[in-house]
Structure 1
Amino acid sequence: MPTVYITAPPDAADEIARTLVEERLAACVNRIDCESTYRWDGAIHEDEEEILLAKTTEAAYPNLVDRVEAIHPYDVPCIERFDETGILDAFASWRNASVGPSDA
C-alpha cells in the first residue's frame, strides 16, 4: 500500500488534504510545515510549504494522483509514491476500510 508524499503551499494544503479524505482517496493526510529551497525557471527559490503524507491504497492511487494534479496550484506538483513494507496489520485494515466506496 502506498503513502504519497506531496508538497503544497500552505494556502492550498488544507484543500488538498480535505479533498483527498472527503473523496475517500486517502484514509488520512498528515500535514507538516516545512521550508523548501529549490530551483525553478533558472532561479533559486525559498518558500514556505507543507508536506502532505497521504495514506491510500493501490486501487485508489491513480485517482489520487489525478485529483491532486487537478486541484494543485503548481504547474508541476511534487507527487512521490512510497511503497511500504512491514505495515501494522491493524493500520492496514483501517486504511483499507477508509479508502474507496463507503459501505454506509
Structure 2
Amino acid sequence: MGLGLLYVTHANKNDAEELCKSLLNEKLISCANFFPVNSIYNWKNKLIKENETVSLIKFEKSKIDEVENRIKELHPYEVPCIMRIPANANIEYEKWVNEQ
C-alpha cells in the first residue's frame, strides 16, 4: 500500500486528459489533476519556450512501474517528462486511492 505520485508534462490539456482517461479506464490510477505551465528548455540544440500542461497523477504505489510504462506507451513526446515524487497523504485519502 501507499501513495504513488507522478508529475508528467503534456503538449496541451486535451492530451493530458486523454492519457489520464486511458489510465483511469485501465484501473491503473485513481486521480489526476491538470495545471497549465510555461516551459523553457533546450531540444536538439534549440531553445524552446512553450505552454504545456502538467498532470499530477495519483495511484496505488505498487503500480508505479506499470503506470510509468503505460504512460511511455501512450505519450506522444519522444522523451516524456515522467517524474516520481515521494508522497504521503492523510490515511483516509491513501485508503481511497488504494481502493480505486
TM-score in same-fold range (> 0.5): yes
Unmatched tracts of structure 2, length 5 or more? none
- Aligned with residue 44 of structure 2, among 41, 65, 79: 41
Q: Give the superposition deviation at 1:68.
A: 0.6
Partner of 1:16: 19
Regions of 4+ moved over 4 Å: none
Partner of 1:82: 85
Q: How many pairs are equivalent?
A: 97
**Taking structure 2 as the reference length, what is the TM-score of the superposition?**
0.91
Contact 1:25 1:61 in 2 (8 A): no
Partner of 2:4: 2
Partner of 1:28: 31
- Give percent identity, aligned residues only: 27
Deviates more, 1:45-54 or 1:11-20: 11-20
Aligned amino acid, residue 9 of structure 1: A
**Taking structure 1 as the reference length, what is the TM-score of the superposition?**
0.87
Aligned amino acid, residue 70 of structure 2: R
Aligned amino acid, residue 60 of structure 1: K
Does 2:59 align with 1:63? no
Supply the distance in 2 between the matched residues of 1:57 and 1:90 (Cα, whole angstroms).
13
Report the RMSD for the aligned CA atoms in angstroms.
Answer: 1.0
